[in-house]
């Protein structure tokens, strides 16, 4: 199951069906009326003791193939952190507004946080990363295919007891498409295989 699918399914399950629209107050988005965070959440319902947010490696700041792979790996770590904390800050910080998958993550996580919902499990590890060759299906400077391992996800609606998971993991693929800008790499899209 792809990363985005997990978030969309989790939000749909925890909100009683329907789409993953951000919660609103008086017709205005919660995100628009809330103070903007200045950094990622450092606490969350699915963090391990002592765990800290991922940090962009020096290699990910270079305009090279190795830099693109390092940056794409960081992006997957940002998605993992977002799911662990229900905080889309790191995803938003490195993605273009036109990235549909990125905006799906941001909207799903924002809605989950507003509803007090969370995800147990679903932690992601990057196994390997490689540069995609040939014509890319998305307009981007570079495509990176990552082999990932993701724990089984369980949606936890607000107010319910935390379920247990079997600790199993699925191997999957994520394709992260990136562009180099004056500010460094930016995610323009993310897809499954």
For 123, residues 6+ apart whose C-beta sits below 8 A from its C-beta are: 46, 80, 83, 84, 150, 151
Confirm whether 167 is domain-assigned. Answer: yes
Range 44-54 average pLDDT: 91
Answer yes or no: is pLDDT of 2 > 70.
Answer: no
Q: What percent of the chain has pLDDT over 70?
A: 73
Answer yes or no: is pLDDT of 33 > 60.
Answer: no
Please give the tally of structural domains in the chain. 1
Confirm whether 27 is domain-assigned. Answer: no
DSSP bridge pairs for 145: 130, 175
| Stretch (H or E) spanning 155 | strand 153-156
- Give the tens place of pLDDT for each residue, 73-92: 999 999 999 999 999 999 99
Among 1-15, 21-35, 78-92, which range has the highest average pLDDT? 78-92
Q: Select the more confidently predicted residue: 121 or 107.
A: 107
Confirm whether 126 is domain-assigned. Answer: yes
Confirm whether 19 is domain-assigned. Answer: no
Range 124-144 average pLDDT: 96
Q: Extract the tokens encoding 44.
A: 């969350």
Helix-, strand-, coil-residue percentages of the chain, each rounded to 5: 35, 25, 40
- Give the tens place of pLDDT for each residue, 160-169: 655 544 456 6
Confirm whether 35 is domain-assigned. Answer: no
Output the domain CATH number for residue 76.
3.10.450
Q: Select the more confidently predicted residue: 30 or 115.
A: 115
The whole domain housing 8 covers 3-14+57-191
**For residue 108, which of 148, 151, 155 has the smallest C-alpha distance?**
155
Confirm whether 143 is domain-assigned. Answer: yes
Confirm whether 52 is domain-assigned. Answer: no
Query: What is the reported pLDDT for 37?
Result: 72
Confirm whether 47 is domain-assigned. Answer: no
Q: Select the more confidently predicted residue: 140 or 121.
A: 140
């Amino acid at each position: 199951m792809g990363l985005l699918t997990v978030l969309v399914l989790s939000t749909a399950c925890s909100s009683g069906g329907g789409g993953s629209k951000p919660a609103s107050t008086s017709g205005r988005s919660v995100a628009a009326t809330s103070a903007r965070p200045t950094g990622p959440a450092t606490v969350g319902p699915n963090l391990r003791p002592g765990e800290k947010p991922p940090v962009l490696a020096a290699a990910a700041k270079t305009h090279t193939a190795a830099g693109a792979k390092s940056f794409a790996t960081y992006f997957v770590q940002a998605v993992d952190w977002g799911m662990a904390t229900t905080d889309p800050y790191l995803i938003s910080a490195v993605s273009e507004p036109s990235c549909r998958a990125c905006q799906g993550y941001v909207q799903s996580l924002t809605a989950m946080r507003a509803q007090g919902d969370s995800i147990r499990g679903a932690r992601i590890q990057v196994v390997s990363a490689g540069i995609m060759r040939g014509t890319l299906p998305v307009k981007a400077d570079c495509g990176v295919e990552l082999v990932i391992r993701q724990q089984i996800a369980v949606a936890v609606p607000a107010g319910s007891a935390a379920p247990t998971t079997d600790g199993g993991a699925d191997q999957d693929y994520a394709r992260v498409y990136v562009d180099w800008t004056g500010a460094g790499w930016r995610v323009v899209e993310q897809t499954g295989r």
